[in-house]
Amino acid sequence: MASSTSSRFGRRIGWLAAAVVVVCTAYTASWFYAAGALETRVAATLAGLNGGGVRAFCEEPEAAGFPFRIGLHCKSVFYENVGDGVSIRAGRLHSTANVYQPFRVLSELDGPAKIILPFTVPLEARWKSLLGSLRLSRPLPERLSFEGVDVEIAEDENQKPLLSLGDIQFHARQRQMDLEAAVSFRNLAAGAEIAPSLPPLEGRALLLVKDGVSLAESRLQSLRGKSATIEEMVVGVVGQAAGFSASGPVSVGNDGLVDAELAVRIDDPAAVADIMARNFPDEREQIMAAAGMLKGLGNTPLQIRVVRGRAFLGFIPLGQIPPVE
């Protein structure tokens, strides 16, 4: 009797072990099949991007993360658009997702990055860490986030930065067909070549782009006919009250002329004026005169209107904004 019971127990253990082996084998085969499909999909996507003056490149793409994650590693990444005069080359890219959360992708990009833009000298971007995450959806990611720590922007191969930031974050998400974007930064410092007397700054902005999802799908080529609302924009001196904030709707007509209704508030106008006067000494008298006027307004925000490119402070004309492309 004891021998029969022991035999049945042994068979159960044997079947359980066999089932575990089958499941593990099937899981392993499925993972490597998915990894191969990922590499094939990436190659096809990059091939589709290339052409017409556009080049996109992932050096030595390799699926990795077995057993509980799956992702793509590139030894380096490169993008170039000859027509726009844009070129970006960066180091190793790591992207990964948990197998039980395949639509939430985490990524990390190694620096430095070589950047060529049509309106400036060749630049180099350096950082301590640059992390990203996105939640995949169709037709566009549902959410997108990036965070950079100890970021520096310098002329190519120049160790002295033009700009540096202790931390910068960017977040974007869909709100039905609109697109909400937020950016924040801390300890922004300008190099001696730009603004040697500018103290470290911090700030944040929240923007709602009307019909932004379809705009992103169509790879926005022009701002004409587009509109957005600045829900919040705040820039100030680190550790001080000096700064400004703005909010309100902005739109660009089909002819490129801007319309806007902005409420602007200046905090500690005297300190703001002092900072501006030190960086723009030739305009010191006008800056100080404006600061005196702002101080008399107290906490009342300035109402700045832009009507077909013509800017007004109340009924006082401020100037003309050229048409936007």
Check residue 258 and give its pLDDT: 93
3-state secondary structure of 71: strand
Q: Which of 21-25, 234-238, 288-292 has the highest mean pLDDT?
A: 234-238
The predicted structure's pLDDT at residue 1: 47
Q: Name beta bridge partners: 311.
A: 306, 319
Rounded Cα gap, residues 144 and 138, in angstroms: 13
Asked if residue 225 has pLDDT above 50, the reply is yes
The conformation of residue 283, written as its DSSP 8-state character, comes to G
In tens, the pLDDT along 121-157 reads 899 999 999 999 988 877 778 899 999 999 999 998 7
* pLDDT at 252 > cutoff 80: yes
User: Is the model's pLDDT at 301 over the cut of 50?
Assistant: yes
pLDDT at position 224 over 80:
yes
Q: Would you state the pLDDT for residue 5?
A: 58
- Choice between 223 and 296, residue whose per-residue pLDDT is larger: 223
Mean pLDDT, range 193-219, rounded to an integer: 86
Position 4 scores a pLDDT of 56
Query: What is d(CA 207, CA 229) in angstroms, rounded to the nearest whole number?
Result: 6
Share of the chain above pLDDT 90, in %: 35
Alpha carbon distance 146, 183 (integer Å): 10
Instruction: Tell me phi and psi for residue 253, to 5 degrees.
Output: -75, 170
- Higher-confidence residue of 107 and 42: namely 107
Are the C-beta atoms of residues 113 and 124 closer than 8 Å to each other? yes
Helix (H, G, I), strand (E, B) or coil at 235: strand
Backbone angles phi, psi at 269, to 5 degrees: -55, -35
Query: Region 295-321: what's the mean pLDDT?
Result: 83
- Of the listed ranges 91-95, 253-257, 317-321, the least confidently predicted one is 317-321
Please tell me the predicted confidence (pLDDT) of residue 122: 92
Least confident of 8-17, 147-156, 179-188: 8-17
Provide the pLDDT for residue 68: 81
Please give the average per-residue pLDDT across 76-103, as a whole number. 88
- Tell the burial category of 131 from Cβ atoms under 10 Å away from its Cβ (0-12, 13-18, 19+): middle
Work out the percent of the chain whose per-residue pLDDT is above 70: 93
Q: What is the pLDDT of residues 20-62, one digit of tens each?
A: 777 778 777 777 777 777 677 777 777 777 778 888 888 888 8
* Residue 85, burial from CB neighbour count under 10 angstroms (0-12, 13-18, 19+): exposed
Distance CA 216, CA 84 (A): 17
